[in-house]
Amino acid sequence: MEKETLKRIFDFIEKKENIRMPFAYKIAIKEPFTEDDLNVRGDLGLGLSNITSLPKGLKVGGNLNLASSRLRSLPEGLEVGGWLSISDTSVSKLPKRLKVGGSLVISYTSIGILPKGLEVGGVIYAINSHIFNIDEIPKGVITEGIVTINKLILNSSLTISSVLNLSYTNITSLPKGLKVGGDLVLINNKIKSLPEGLEVGGRLEIAGTPLAKLSDDDLRKMVKPGFIKGQIGRKWKQTH
């Protein structure tokens, strides 16, 4: 069916039934957006679509799924109330003033820098992305959740407000003076020692790492004058 025919059908439905034309279809036919169109109250699913860009001023109250689409860029000032996934897309950088209420998934992208002012209320998933260095997480980034990064090279001091999950990575050491507000999860990696001055506000979870061979007392002494406030968990199954 031709685009003009479909447009006439949707125009008729909008006027007759007061049902808006689907957002994705407006993008496909390059139909102008109204202010109301740019305020999506629920979820917006555009994963696996041919969409390459989004309109400026877009606000999504729920989740925004763009995974495995042909997306190349995100608009400046994009706001998403739930989670945002741009996994497996051609997006190479995040826009200014991006706000995500839930988790941010940038796995399997070429994104190498997290911009200052980025706000993420949940988890930042950057598995198999181009963020390999802890220096590439600027102090301006706000995250209240977990930062999960694959093959991360830690070489400088960092403060994480809640949980830091470094499981299944190739890292061999942690930076001196690292501060983790919540749990520190070190499962299936090659870390042999904990750095002096390490502060862990929650639990330390270890398994499948050389650290698991050390006693709790040895681990706590190792980080002084730092501390491990919570328990040291070893409930995970050893794999090597």
Handedness of CA 23, 123, 87, 110 (dihedral sign): positive
> 219: closest CA among 160, 158, 210?
210
Give residue 240's pLDDT band: very low, low, confident or very high (50, 70, 90).
Answer: very low
Give pLDDT tens digits for 64-98: 999 999 999 999 999 999 999 999 999 999 999 99
Residue extents of the structural domains in the chain: 1-37, 38-153, 169-235
| DSSP code per residue over 90-141 | ---SPPTT-EESS-EE-TTS----PPTT-EESS-EEETTSS--BGGGS-TT-
Q: What amino acid occupies position 32?
A: P
Give residue 31's pLDDT band: very low, low, confident or very high (50, 70, 90).
Answer: low
CA–CA dist 239, 54 (Å, integer):
44
Q: Is the pLDDT of residue 154 over 60?
A: no
CA–CA dist 68, 72 (Å, integer):
11
65 SS3 class:
strand
Give residue 201's pLDDT band: very low, low, confident or very high (50, 70, 90).
Answer: very high
Pairing state of beta strands 84-85 and 104-105? Answer: parallel
Q: Is the pLDDT of residue 239 over 70?
A: no
Handedness of CA 236, 130, 85, 41 (dihedral sign): positive
Handedness of CA 214, 216, 221, 226 (dihedral sign): positive
Q: Which has the higher per-residue pLDDT, 62 or 124?
A: 62
CA–CA dist 217, 67 (Å, integer):
45
Q: What amino acid occupies position 166?
A: L
Strand partners, 40: 60
